[in-house]
């Protein structure tokens, strides 16, 4: 186009602007700036909330917790005056005058039958968030929070519900105790990203981090070690200082309550029968040899494991679990079960006698027999057991001797399998055998892996539903979990650099339907998220280019 005079130039500019605006609108019809990406969103361009206008918040009385979160958002992001009013059907017409945000429960709408579903409508100077319960409203408030951070509330309708019910983060505090303040920080970020399961790895070889009143040595001895292996496996280097720390039962209650306000369930993990050296350091009779050991100062796997053929040891496990049941309302409790070295069972005449009596051919059979007996104790206490996929007895490591494999015992069907390792085909086999699965396949979900090994994009593109799974089995894939193992992360900053920004990708795997996911759109939000993390004093990974 040749431009000959000023009016043609103006016309040209108008055409260009129109093209840009329409282009943006089309884009907005499908994608939003919210992470995780909502599953159904349409956007207009009208400004709904003007930043200088006084605003009223109307909320159902049962939603005072969610109102508090909205209040905090408005305090941080909105400069004009805000007032609050309990929603009253009789006065609703008056309450809805001017600019307002309304939080309302709606038991009728069938869209809300999905747990966590909500609708956010922004139009005509108001925002209405509806859901069947407080959880859905909470997620609507989190979406609104991100819209406020984006500095515009334009007219839009978001009809959103999560893809999976299990959107988890696991934190290992046995290797390095991170502390209550850090855990709350992580819970805040999980809530912001609509994640809902905090899996708390509280016991392992390197430390026992939960107060158990009946066995005080678990923490007076098991929560401290003299030194720590440093840098990487078998480096031969040590940090050169002792490490200790544990949560009192009061601390645990505080964290569980904090998580509950954010609609997050805390799943404690009490490792058994392996990864138990810290407990054995405190009470040597827990292992078959009864050998006194210190809490190990290197990381890895250890020969000393619980002697599950001894009724006194089973009594100990029940006692610990009874206190755990009291502290954690979660229906699911994790028993670990991974990477069990069977040497101490093979070497013990008592364990061998027990196995012969119960016709258990291999140590894998004994582990499954133990796990199944324990699952009855779980059921009596209305709980479900969860464990790493080692509990099925499959050969997932290649280091078990061949005669330990092919157990004839069958794991109880009530157990939830936390799939992390082995041939990926085993996921399908596990589903076909009738188990529920949380897919945490390590190459896609281990946050301790360096960001150049597990890139943001690789993680983002992980689909917990493997190809070729029939529809009736897909429903048994409960969701996804990211694992933050802390062997090489002594400080809060160390774990944060591993977790962020990948936590956002994990959240999107858990929430957003595959056909709504788009890495380019996701990546565009990373600068905004980084600003948030900077404001929250979170040390995200600054080095990797995405
Ligand atoms: C695991 O990473 N040992 C479950």
Q: Is residue 542 part of a domain?
A: no
Residue range(s) defining the domain that contains residue 139: 6-31+40-160
Q: Is residue 190 part of a domain?
A: yes
Ligand 1 centre to CA of 446 (Å) is 9
Atom nearest to 275 CA in ligand 1: 3
Same domain, 330 and 463: yes
Same domain, 140 and 258: no
Same domain, 397 and 326: yes
Q: Is residue 263 part of a domain?
A: yes
> Best substitution site from 388, 419, 449 to test ligand 1's pocket, by max atoms within 8 Å of Cβ?
388
Same domain, 320 and 437: yes
Query: What CATH number does the domain containing 136 carry?
Result: 3.30.379.10
Q: Is residue 65 part of a domain?
A: yes
Residue 79: its pLDDT value, please?
83
Ligand 1 centre to CA of 391 (Å) is 12
Ligand 1 centre to CA of 411 (Å) is 19
Same domain, 76 and 218: no
Ligand 1 centre to CA of 420 (Å) is 7
Last residue of a domain, one of 119, 141, 160: 160
Q: Is residue 365 part of a domain?
A: yes
Closest C-alpha to ligand 1, atom 2: 420
Last residue of a domain, one of 137, 160, 183: 160
Task: Report how many domains make up the chain.
Answer: 2
Atom nearest to 336 CA in ligand 1: 4
Same domain, 293 and 182: yes
Atom nearest to 339 CA in ligand 1: 3
Ligand 1 centre to CA of 526 (Å) is 29
- As annotated, the active-site residues are 204, 275, 339
Last residue of a domain, one of 160, 184, 207: 160
How many CB atoms sit inside 10 A of residue 11's CB?
Answer: 13
Atom nearest to 420 CA in ligand 1: 4
Ligand 1 centre to CA of 387 (Å) is 10
Same domain, 89 and 234: no
> Best substitution site from 334, 339, 396, 418 to test ligand 1's pocket, by max atoms within 8 Å of Cβ?
339
Same domain, 106 and 251: no
Same domain, 216 and 358: yes
Q: How far apart are CA 156 and CA 46, in angstroms?
A: 9
Ligand 1 centre to CA of 301 (Å) is 10
Q: How far apart are CA 291 and CA 273, in angstroms?
A: 16
Q: Is residue 546 part of a domain?
A: no
Same domain, 204 and 126: no
Q: Is residue 332 part of a domain?
A: yes
Residue 247: its pLDDT value, please?
99
Atom nearest to 418 CA in ligand 1: 4
Q: Is residue 540 part of a domain?
A: no
Atom nearest to 390 CA in ligand 1: 4
Same domain, 266 and 118: no
CA 496 to chain centre: 14
Query: What CATH number does the domain containing 369 carry?
Result: 3.20.20.80
Task: Name the residue among 92, 101, 112 with its Cα closest to residue 66.
Answer: 101
Instruction: State if residue 420 touches ligand 1 by the CB under 6 angstroms criterion.
Output: yes
Q: How far apart are CA 381 and CA 492, in angstroms?
A: 35
Ligand 1 centre to CA of 336 (Å) is 8
Instruction: State if residue 269 touches ligand 1 by the CB under 6 angstroms criterion.
Output: no
Atom nearest to 442 CA in ligand 1: 2
Instruction: State if residue 365 touches ligand 1 by the CB under 6 angstroms criterion.
Output: no
Instruction: Give strand pairing partners of 172.
Output: 201
Burial class from Cβ neighbours inside 10 Å (0-12, 13-18, 19+) for residue 455 reads: middle
> Best substitution site from 335, 420, 422, 487 to test ligand 1's pocket, by max atoms within 8 Å of Cβ?
420
Backbone torsions φ then ψ of 75, nearest 5 degrees: -60, -40
Pairing state between β 203-204 and 207-208: antiparallel
End-to-end CA distance of the chain: 38
Residue 293 DSSP SS3? coil
Residue 26: its pLDDT value, please?
40
Q: Tell me how far CA of residue 248 lies from CA of 12, 65, 202, 212, 222, in angstroms.
A: 70, 26, 12, 8, 14
Residue 401: its pLDDT value, please?
63
Same domain, 172 and 106: no
Instruction: State if residue 448 touches ligand 1 by the CB under 6 angstroms criterion.
Output: no
Query: Are the C-beta atoms of residues 118 and 139 closer than 8 Å to each other?
Result: yes
- pLDDT tens for the chain, 546 residues long, are 344 455 444 444 434 433 333 333 344 444 678 999 999 999 888 999 877 889 999 999 999 999 999 999 999 888 889 999 999 999 999 999 999 999 999 999 999 999 999 999 999 999 999 999 999 999 999 999 999 887 668 999 999 999 999 999 999 999 999 999 999 999 999 999 999 999 999 999 999 999 999 999 999 999 999 999 999 999 999 999 999 999 999 999 999 999 999 999 999 999 999 999 999 999 999 999 999 999 999 999 999 999 999 999 999 999 999 999 999 999 999 999 999 999 999 999 999 999 999 999 999 999 999 999 999 999 999 999 999 999 998 888 877 666 666 778 889 999 999 999 999 999 999 999 999 999 999 999 999 999 999 999 999 999 999 999 999 999 999 999 999 999 999 999 999 999 999 999 999 999 999 999 999 999 999 999 999 999 999 999 998 887
Instruction: State if residue 339 touches ligand 1 by the CB under 6 angstroms criterion.
Output: yes
Residue 402: its pLDDT value, please?
63
Instruction: State if residue 487 touches ligand 1 by the CB under 6 angstroms criterion.
Output: no
Closest C-alpha to ligand 1, atom 1: 338
Task: Name the residue among 377, 420, 375 with its Cα closest to residue 172.
Answer: 420
Backbone torsions φ then ψ of 19, nearest 5 degrees: -60, -45
């Amino acid at each position: 186009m040749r431009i000959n005079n000023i009016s043609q130039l103006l016309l040209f500019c108008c055409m260009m602007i129109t093209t840009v605006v329409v282009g943006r609108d089309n884009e907005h019809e499908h994608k939003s700036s919210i992470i995780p990406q909502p599953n159904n969103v349409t956007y207009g361009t009208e400004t709904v909330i003007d930043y200088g206008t006084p605003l009223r918040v109307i909320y159902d009385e049962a939603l005072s917790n969610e109102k508090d979160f909205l209040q905090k958002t408005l305090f941080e992001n909105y400069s004009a005056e805000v007032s609050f009013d309990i929603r009253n059907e009789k006065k609703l017409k008056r309450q809805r005058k001017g600019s307002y945000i309304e939080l309302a429960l709606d038991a009728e709408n069938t869209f809300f039958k999905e747990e966590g579903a909500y609708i956010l409508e922004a139009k005509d100077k108001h925002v209405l968030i509806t859901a069947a319960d407080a959880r859905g409203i909470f997620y609507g408030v989190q979406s609104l929070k991100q819209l406020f951070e984006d500095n515009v509330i334009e007219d839009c309708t978001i009809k959103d519900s999560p893809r999976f019910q299990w959107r988890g983060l696991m934190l290992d505090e046995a290797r390095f105790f991170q502390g209550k303040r850090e855990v709350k920080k992580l819970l805040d970020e999980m809530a912001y990203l609509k994640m809902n399961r905090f899996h708390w790895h509280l016991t392992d070889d390197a430390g026992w981090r939960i107060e158990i009143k009946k066995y005080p040595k678990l923490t007076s001895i098991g929560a401290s070690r003299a030194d720590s292996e440093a840098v990487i496996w078998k480096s031969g280097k040590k940090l050169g200082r002792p490490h200790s720390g544990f949560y009192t039962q009061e601390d645990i209650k505080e964290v569980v309550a904090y998580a509950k306000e954010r609609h997050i369930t805390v799943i404690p993990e009490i490792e058994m029968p392996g990864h138990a050296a810290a407990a054995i350091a405190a009470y040597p009779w827990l292992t078959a040899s009864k050998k006194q050991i210190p809490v190990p100062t290197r990381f890895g796997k250890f020969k000393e494991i619980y002697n599950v053929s001894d009724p006194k040891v089973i009594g100990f496990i029940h006692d610990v679990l009874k206190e755990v049941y009291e502290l954690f309302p979660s229906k699911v409790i994790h028993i670990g079960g991974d990477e069990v070295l069977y040497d101490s069972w093979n070497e013990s005449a008592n364990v061998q006698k027990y196995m012969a009596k119960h016709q258990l051919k291999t140590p894998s059979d004994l582990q499954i027999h133990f796990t199944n007996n324990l699952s009855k104790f779980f059921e009596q206490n209305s709980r479900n057991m969860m464990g790493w996929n080692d509990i099925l007895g499959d050969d997932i490591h290649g280091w078990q001797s061949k005669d330990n494999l092919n157990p004839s015992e069958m794991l109880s069907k009530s157990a939830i399998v936390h799939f992390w390792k082995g041939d990926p085909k085993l996921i399908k086999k596990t589903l076909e055998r009738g188990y529920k699965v949380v897919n945490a396949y390590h190459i896609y979900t281990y946050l301790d892996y360096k960001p150049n090994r597990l890139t943001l994009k690789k993680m983002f593109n992980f689909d917990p539903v493997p190809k070729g799974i029939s529809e009736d089995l897909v429903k048994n894939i409960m969701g996804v979990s990211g694992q933050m193992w802390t062997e090489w992360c002594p400080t809060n900053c160390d774990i944060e650099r591993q977790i962020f920004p990948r936590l956002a990708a994990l959240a999107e795997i858990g929430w957003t339907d595959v056909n709504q996911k788009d890495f380019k759109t996701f990546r565009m939000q990373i600068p905004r998220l980084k600003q948030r993390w900077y404001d929250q004093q979170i040390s995200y990974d600054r080095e990797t280019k995405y």
